[in-house]
Amino acid sequence: MPIYRSHVLVCGGTPCVLKGAKTLKDLLNKELNRYNLADEIRVVETGCLGPCDEGPVIVVYPEGTMYSRLQPSDIPRIVQSHLLKGRILQELVYQAPWSPPSAQEVPLEQEKYLGLQKRVVLRNCGRIDPDSIDEYIANDGYQALGKAVTTLRPDEVIEMVKEAKLLGRGGAGFPTGLKWSFTAKIDADQKYIICNADEGEPGTFKDRLIMEGDPHGIIEGMAIAGYAVGANQGIIYIRGEYALSIERMKRAIEQATAYGLLGERIFGSDFNFTIQVRSGAGAYVCGEETALIESLEGNRGEPRVKPPYPGVAGLWGKPTVVNNVETLANVPPIILNGPEWFRRIGTEKCPGTKVFTMLGDINNQGLIEVPMGITLREIVYGVGGGIPGGKGFKMAQTGGTSGGCLPAEFLDLPMDYDTLAKAGSALGSGAMLIIDDSHCVVDLLKSFMKFFVHESCGRCTPCREGTMRLYEIIQALAEGTATMADFRLLKELSATMQLTALCGLGQSAPNSLLTCMEYFADEFQAHLNGRCPTGTCKNITVKSDAV
């Protein structure tokens, strides 16, 4: 392979692709050929580089110069000035749009936050060509699988994952090693490993970008899981809208199979493992593991009554491990570096990192990976660069639409499973929606509740009827026609749904509502009195019996 003096990394994540990244890549190659530079400079399409709202993005190495918001007309200038003459085009260089905290916030120095990110899951995203198994192998790829199947017993692999205290990153936070141990103990003629890539939570796209940026990391994690529990078949269930993820995962499986890293007698051992990709039809409820299994079996995607749990009786009634994309991506580095290394990152109870997708009223939107236990303030004002337009921080919805809404008093809250649960929220899928003080809480909740009405599968009464009733009452609040009796019913119905709904969709649907009712009670009271404090609810009217 030739030695290049420079590499140009073109972000190949979906946000940048939609903004024309592939066109930029073609133009770069064309211009390099024009100046006879193709043998000196290599153009590589990578996974997501992180700043998704700044796309399309490219990075020139060895300088590490990042150019953002590029247009096709910028490419000839970059080639002529930077790549040919060594002169960086400062006007195109990415500048983090730091915004000072608003007056009511404690002033913070932005500089102390610049090194907060820690890449474990995203270790290869934006660094290697995701379509090249050779580049993955050159970055320690498949060494963990080789170590597992040639030097460790299956129970030793499970023990390593237990010692690492890896919690499931799909939302529930269940100990991964413990989940594996349930399936490993069962004697069965067939077991399955399922990678849950049915990422339906609004505002969440971390799994998509992990698959697009480092598909072999997921394959390696699945194969290690298969070896640990005695499964010989894996399935990646990807939502159908993720066309690029499906394409890259299928190509990676083909490459791994051709290299003998999937199939029979992997690394010369007795371990056999194959993987296939199955696409879903976009149902939010299929993110729940038993609804996903029902969909794989060709049935309507509806949750099953548990027990039995999938680890005992899952796909086709066989023992099945279902793990999230991010969970599986953590497995190879744990096996390669050891559980002690992993536990040194994050907190004692929640080791490791968490991948977040930051959206909403924040300067730096996109994909980040930070150690567990980082505070909300550090994410918002450090990694995120603060609130744009000099507006104040109102709240953060963590964990996607199923998560809770946390006001400014929680800015110094550590972001980990235990702490957020105590505050009435969750890490969940990793979505983080930042909302400034110009928004109306009732108007936001109307949007959240409408989503759950649409996505409820309708199997159980608490969710089928409850989501619709919650939406109707919030709608009445937005219009100024709700009463105090309706307000009390919101609390009662929400509590009932949390206790009685069949699956996590119905149980978590009221989370954002309950936290907002607790932390923004004054805004609800204002709407009961016929007034929207932000002026968002334009059609609000005063009822004669308003409080």
- DSSP per residue, 12-76: -SHHHHHTTHHHHHHHHHHHHHHTT-TTTEEEEEES--S-GGG-S-EEEETTTEEE-S--TTHHH
Of the three residues 436, 462, 493, the one that is the final residue of a domain is 436
Within a domain: 216: yes
Across residues 340-360, what is the average pLDDT?
Answer: 94
Question: Any long-range contacts for 174-179 (C-beta under 8 Å, 24+ apart)?
Answer: 176/323, 176/327, 176/331, 179/311, 179/321, 179/323
Q: Kindly report the CATH number assigned to the domain that includes residue 470.
A: 1.20.1440.230
Residue 19 within any structural domain of the chain: yes
The CATH number that applies at residue 371 is 3.10.20.600
Adjacent-strand bridge partners of 368: 356
Q: How many domains does the chain have?
A: 4
User: Would you say residue 109 has pLDDT above 80?
Assistant: no
pLDDT value of residue 428: 82
* Same domain flag for 418 and 483: no
Q: What is the DSSP string of 419-467?
A: HHHHTT---TTSEEEEEETTS-HHHHHHHHHHHHHHH----SHHHHHHH
Regarding whether 331 and 194 lie in a shared domain, the answer is: yes
Q: What is the DSSP letter of 307?
A: S
Whole-number pLDDT of residue 546: 43
On the 0-12 / 13-18 / 19+ scale of CB atoms within 10 A, 115 is exposed
Give pLDDT, residue 425.
85
| 509 & 481 share domain | yes
Position 106 scores a pLDDT of 32
Average model confidence (pLDDT) across the chain: 91
Give yes or no: residues 328 and 360 share one domain. no
- Please report, as a single letter, which amino acid is at residue 205: F
Whether 403 and 373 share a structural domain = yes
The listed range with the strongest mean pLDDT (58-62, 83-87, 105-109, 274-278) is: 274-278
Last residue of a domain, one of 308, 343, 378: 343
CATH code assigned at 90: 3.40.30.10
Please report, for the domain that includes residue 265, its CATH number.
3.40.50.11540
Which residues, at least 6 apart from 375, have a Cβ–Cβ distance to it below 8 Å?
411, 412, 413, 414, 415
127 in a domain, yes or no?
A: no
- Tell whether 18 is covered by a domain: yes
Residue 183 pLDDT? 97
428 and 448 assigned to the same domain: no
212 and 235 co-located in one domain = yes
**What are the backbone dihedrals phi and psi of residue 71, each rounded to the nearest 5 degrees, phi first?**
-115, 155
Note whether 470 and 330 are same-domain residues.
no
In a domain, 366, yes or no: yes
Rg (CA), the chain: 24
What does the pLDDT read at residue 113?
44
Coil, strand or helix at 526: helix
- 536 part of a folded domain: no
Within-domain flag for 123? no
Q: Is residue 174 part of a domain?
A: yes
The answer to whether residues 314 and 200 belong to one domain is: yes
One domain, residues 192 and 284 = yes
What percentage of residues in the chain have a pLDDT greater than 70? 95
Same-domain check for residues 180 and 80: no
The pair of structure tokens assigned to 70 is: 């590029």
Is 273 in the same domain as 381? no
Q: Which helix (DSSP H) or strand (DSSP E) does residue 358 occupy?
A: strand 353-360
239: β partners: 280
What confidence category does residue 219 fall into, taking pLDDT thresholds of 50, 70 and 90?
very high
Contacts of 396 (CB under 8 A, 6+ apart): 376, 380, 405, 406, 410, 432, 433, 434, 435
Q: Which domain, by its residues, includes 510?
A: 441-528
